[in-house]
Amino acid sequence: MVIKELTIGTLLTIIIILLIKGVNIFPFVLLAAVGLFLVYRNQIADFIESTIESPKNEKILTIDFDQIGGQETAKKELLEALEFVVNKDLVKKLGIRPLKGIILQGPPGTGKTLLAKAAAKYTNSAFIATSGSEFVEMYAGVGAKRVRKLFADAKRLALKEKKNSAVIFIDEIDVLGVKRGSNSSHMEYDQTLNQLLVEMDGLKSSDIQILVMAATNRLDLLDDALLRPGRFDRIVNIPLPSKWGRLEILRIHTKNKPLGDDVDLEKVAAQTFGFSGAHLENVTNEAAILALRNNRLTITQQDFLNAIEKVIMGEKIDRVPTKEELKRIAIHEVGHGFISELYRPNSVASITVAPRGQALGYMRQVNSENLLETKESLLKTIAVTVAGAMAEKVFFDQFSTGATNDFNQAISLAKKIIDCGLSDLGTTNCNILPKEVLNKEITTIIENVKIETEKILLNKKGLIEKLANYLLENETISGDEFRNIIQGL
């Protein structure tokens, strides 16, 4: 303490003398500040650490597995792993090493955090939640200290709640557990990860049993040492829900909502291919908001359909295209819809020329749930993709910039055909092909589809025009209306 006071006093004296002599003291003050920082950096880091709250804990967990829908396979695998925590005596008799860590891997919004909370309730454990970003700081050693504190807090919380186990949930662990050496200019990442590895190695089943659960959608970024048995022993995949999974999720989120007699949640589930649980919750919420806007006390099927379009495309915009642009947009979207119905009957969900988000028009499909695709099915998908542009060519003799995204999607599908060995090039990969060969094959695939699609649309030019005029009159038509018009004509 005396040395500290003498140092500060000496520095102040020197500064005062320099000021009296009229010397520019800025360089000396800067140098002194750097010196003081280097001397007292540990105290500064401790002060910063003391100002940051501990990871949040939830003393009352109200989420259980019955409240999580659409993830039956993941729940089954997770429950099996949790039996090692629940049935400790049986595990001990059989000589089984308790699991230390479980990684929940899947796209955002699929319920990874909810599953971790349900796991804590199922095992009657204390629960602490944090995220990978909370561990990384510019000060060396702070992240490692936070990791030690996290495990200590989990044990203290379990003792306080008189429980024998604790669940630590680390969201976005790819920030904390990224492969060592990836951040060459920032060794703090590696030190923090090393501390996590040490803490997981030190977990003892005889003491407060700690289960570390982590969530990520980038498993490929994680360090191999983190994924080895004895640390994160299980990897549970949490995929996007299937149609029946989406139906289950919709039923859960509509329990507290007044639904109209016309609501068919199965149809809503069929039209939300690729939606996560978070998206589906948003759909039900938006549908309720639309009912409120229209001064209704019940939610209708149309509210759900409008909510789906809003979630996908965004809110309607005020900008109104010109009459000529609207005609082109209608022709474009009807072209998509007609080819879609031709190749995959009952696939059109709705068609609109009402601008939403960045789109001036939109044809929404009921996507297939097939796990495998053939060359034929991929070519048909390309045909649906380029049909809008080809319809424009049939009626206006040229494309517009509205087809840009369609052609980009067609290129991606053509690359998929090549990568799967379904093209005339045989078994190969786009990454190893010369650019000239790759471009030629992609162009050949797409041009052949465009020629065939143009022939079909040219033969049905009168029908396409009638459908487009009907769409312009009504702004939006449902898939059923679209099919009825085709069959009636």
pLDDT in tens, 217-252: 888 888 888 888 888 888 888 888 888 889 999 999
- The answer to whether residue 201 sits within a structural domain is yes
- In angstroms, the CA 267 to CA 262 distance is 11
In angstroms, the CA 131 to CA 16 distance is: 48
Task: Name which of 44-48, 420-424, 432-436, 447-451 the model is least confident about.
Answer: 44-48
Name which of 9-23, 40-54, 296-310, 360-374 the model is least confident about. 40-54
pLDDT in tens, 331-384: 999 999 999 999 999 888 889 888 876 777 888 888 776 778 899 999 999 999
Residues 297 and 413 in one domain: no
Q: What is the mean pLDDT of residues 123-148?
A: 78
283 inside domain = yes
Spell out the long-range contacts of 294-297 with Cβ–Cβ below 8 A and sequence spacing 24 or more. Answer: 297/258
Let me know if residue 389 belongs to a domain. yes
Active site residues: 333
Do residues 81 and 234 lie in contact, with contact meaning Cβ atoms separated by under 8 Å?
yes
> Are the C-beta atoms of residues 364 and 350 closer than 8 Å to each other?
yes
Do 329 and 448 sit in the same domain of this protein? yes
What three-state secondary structure class fits 334?
A: helix
For residue 391, is pLDDT > 90? yes
Closest by CA to 282, choosing from 316, 309, 258, 319, is 309
Same domain for 370 and 328: yes
Q: Return the CATH number at 223.
A: 3.40.50.300
* Six token digits for residue 401: 């910039």
One domain, residues 85 and 25: no
Same domain, 185 and 280: no
Calculate the dihedral angle through the C-alpha atoms of 82, 83, 88, 90, rounding to the nearest 10 degrees.
-160
Tell me which residue has tokens 């009504």. Answer: 474
Instruction: Tell which of 184, 213, 237 closes a domain.
Output: 237
Task: Give the alpha-carbon dihedral of 172, 173, 174, 178, to 10 degrees.
Answer: 160
Task: State the CATH number of the domain containing residue 390.
Answer: 1.20.58.760
- Please report, for the domain that includes residue 267, its CATH number: 1.10.8.60
d(CA 305, CA 275): 14
Q: Are residues 221 and 80 in the same domain?
A: yes
User: What tokens does 458 get?
Assistant: 């040219």
Does 71 have pLDDT greater than 50? yes
Tokens describing residue 334:
């009807």
- For residue 437, being part of any structural domain is answered with yes
Kindly state whether residues 127 and 232 are assigned to the same domain. yes
Q: Is residue 343 part of a domain?
A: yes
Helices (H), 166-276: 173-176, 188-201, 224-227, 243-253, 265-270
Q: Assess if residue 47 is contained within a domain.
A: no
**Structural domain boundaries, residue 11:** 2-39
Domain assignment of residue 17, yes or no = yes
Do 250 and 115 belong together in one domain?
Answer: no
pTM over 0.85: no
Domain boundary among 267, 291, 313: 313
Answer whether residue 292 is part of any domain.
Answer: yes
Domain boundary among 252, 286, 313: 313
The maximal CA–CA distance of the chain, rounded, in angstroms, is 100
**Residues 220, 304 within the same domain:** no
Range name among 49-63, 121-135, 204-218, 288-302 with the lowest pLDDT average: 49-63
362-365 β-sheet, strand order: 362-365, 348-352, 476-478
Residues 216, 250, single domain; the answer is no
> Could you report how far apart the first and last alpha carbons of the chain are, in Å?
95
Same domain, 248 and 201: no
Q: Same domain, yes or no, for 203 and 280?
A: no
Q: What's the domain count of the chain?
A: 4
Bridge partners (DSSP) listed for residue 212: 101, 168
Q: How far apart (Å, rounded) are the C-alpha atoms in residues 212 and 236?
A: 13
